[in-house]
Amino acid sequence: METIMLDQKWKEAWKVELSKSVFSVKVNEDLIHRSLVYQLANARINLAHTKTRWERRGSTRKLYRQKGTGRARMGSARSPIRKKGWLAFGPRNNRTFAISMNKKERRLALFSILSSKVKNKDLIVVNDIKMKEIKTKSMIDVFKALPYKEKALLALPERNEVLEKSAANIPYVKTVSVNYLNTHDLLKYKTLVLLKGSVDHLNALAK
């Protein structure tokens, strides 16, 4: 399959070949959802941490004798039912929320999203974007000329400090290496902008 590629002046220049195995697969929404849950769960950082009875400071002496006081029996001041005592069944930072997902399933989920971008006309292919210096205004002018919808995700074939830093302060644009295209970013940003080198990299994944 083919799609139109824009030149440096953002005019339709020529057509570029897109692999059917990557950009024309059946969209599997269930697989995309699982991939998103997998990514968010594995990126979750567990910060909440409470102390057990052995970590809480304080004496372990029994507060008063077992019998003869007329009150309920009581252990040490570190009891969870007393003020400043340890917390029973509280959250611990050694808990993991990571889940597993097969590599083939993750790749198919990526292909499903890319195919949906093509189907919904949310994919823009550009031959190249060249900038002489790091300048946010220049990057804004670039995207003003592109027919993108809402937010745009720019996938670069390799590290490009000029483009990355020029787009860093634009809230509706994000740059990412094509190697790190992920479900979360592709769903968050409506339009995907690929450079010619990025298309070649994705086409190679089908082999």
CATH code of the domain in which 196 resides: 3.40.1370.10
Note down the domain range covering 68.
46-96
CA proximity to 204, closest of 61, 17, 57: 17
Q: Say whether both 106 and 175 belong to one domain.
A: yes
User: Taking 90 as the threshold, does the pLDDT of residue 82 lie above it?
Assistant: no
User: Taking 90 as the threshold, does the pLDDT of residue 15 lie above it?
Assistant: no
Q: Which of 96, 131, 159 is the last residue of a domain?
A: 96
Q: Say whether both 67 and 92 belong to one domain.
A: yes
Q: Which of 96, 113, 134 is the last residue of a domain?
A: 96
Q: Say whether both 19 and 35 belong to one domain.
A: yes
Angle between helix axes 29-42 and 103-119 (nearest 10 degrees) is 120
The DSSP line for the chain is: -EEEEE-TTSSEEEEEE--HHHHSSPP-HHHHHHHHHHHHHHT---------TTTS-S--S-SS-SSSSSS-----TT-TTSTT-PPTT---TT--------HHHHHHHHHHHHHHHHHTT-EEEES----SS--HHHHHHHHHHS---SSEEEEESS--HHHHHHHTT-TTEEEEEGGG--HHHHHHSSEEEEEHHHHHHHHHTT-
**pLDDT reported for residue 56:** 87
Q: Say whether both 25 and 91 belong to one domain.
A: no
Q: Dump pLDDT digits (tens) for 176-189.
A: 999 999 999 999 99
Q: Say whether both 40 and 71 belong to one domain.
A: no
Q: Say whether both 72 and 105 belong to one domain.
A: no
Q: Say whether both 36 and 115 belong to one domain.
A: yes
**Which of 60-64, 142-146, 164-168 shows the lowest mean pLDDT across its residues?**
142-146
Q: Dump pLDDT digits (tens) for 59-77.
A: 889 989 999 999 999 888 8
pTM for this prediction = 0.80
Q: Say whether both 118 and 88 belong to one domain.
A: no
**Number of independent structural domains in the chain:** 2
Q: Say whether both 170 and 77 belong to one domain.
A: no
Q: Say whether both 157 and 173 belong to one domain.
A: yes
Q: Which two tokens stand for residue 157?
A: 């074939």
Q: Say whether both 73 and 105 belong to one domain.
A: no
Q: Which of 61, 96, 131 is the last residue of a domain?
A: 96
Q: Say whether both 176 and 110 belong to one domain.
A: yes
